[in-house]
Amino acid sequence: MSVPVAGPDSHGEPPAGLDERDGRHAELIQWWQAERRDLPWRRTRDPWLVLVSEVMLQQTQVDRVLPYFETFSERWPTPERCATAELADVLTAWQGLGYPRRVRNLWRTAAIITEHHDGRVPADLDDLLALPGVGPYTARAVRAFAFGVDTGVVDTNVGRILARWAGRRLSPTEAQHIADELVPAGESWAWNQAMMDLGAQVCTKRDPSCGRCPVQPWCTWAGAVTSSERSSQPDPADRSAGVSTRQAPFEGSDRQARGRLLAALSDGPLPPERAAAAMRLEHDEARAQRLVEELIAEGLVTAAGDQLRLGAAR
């Protein structure tokens, strides 16, 4: 059966038929228990470590996150430990993972949790959303994976699955509504992990393995086209809610240049006149200056006297 979805001005609905839906829930969980990925952040329900993992996983592949998560968890296992660390040290440990704004926000979040929440990550949705760098996805992931709240977690993999099940692109509100309604009561942790693994291992962006899908009868897209036709048929997941879009090339980007400077500063201070060389932008001093100013404004770099230093002054 397909996932019936209401018209464009109303919320989508989960699969109809309670008995059938419960059966599909059981089939997906059973599949996941046999095929689940063993990931270190799945071995803890500690809200702080769950939050750390979710921040690291933003726009970053699982394999890249694994060693960073282990190191970070050992050095800063609590918000208080992270909040009392120097930002420069935290940035250095993050070096190579990309998107350094994430760790700056995580460091600031640790301070807020320590000062305003007695050192405990809040479970309330609004309190989570008030933390720096925590958006709707991350907040719901913490609620589901740390606190067991029955809420749908719509990442790229889940967003792709929901759109294919519905047979069309979904708005953020529709996708979240369907995801929430599908969560079996009391099984939020396992269900959301199972959905993510289904997207990562079976319902992949390219060449989905529909024949191996434990809940294929829910999928409108799989029922509408054969595998030979799929390459010529529009994928309803394209530009649907939660589904990531192709990033601009990294090579030659501002991201790459910024990362080079942060890497250089992790080895020690530099005079401003050497910043362009560190970014390999000797031919474009104006661009180099702009990037330095952005990093200072973001609190990732400090200009102290005649030196650039990693991190912000307290």
List the catalytic residues.
54
**Structure tokens of 268?**
């020690």
| Euclidean distance between CA atoms 312 and 37, whole angstroms | 38
Phi, psi of 273 (to 5 degrees): -70, -10
| Euclidean distance between CA atoms 55 and 47, whole angstroms | 12
DSSP state, residue 34: H
Please name the residues in contact with 72: beta carbons below 8 A apart, sequence gap of 6 or more. Answer: 52, 56, 93, 94
List the one residue out of 232, 223, 220, 236 whose CA is nearest residue 169. Answer: 236
Phi-psi category of 178—alpha, beta or left, where left has phi over 0 and alpha has psi -120 to 50?
alpha
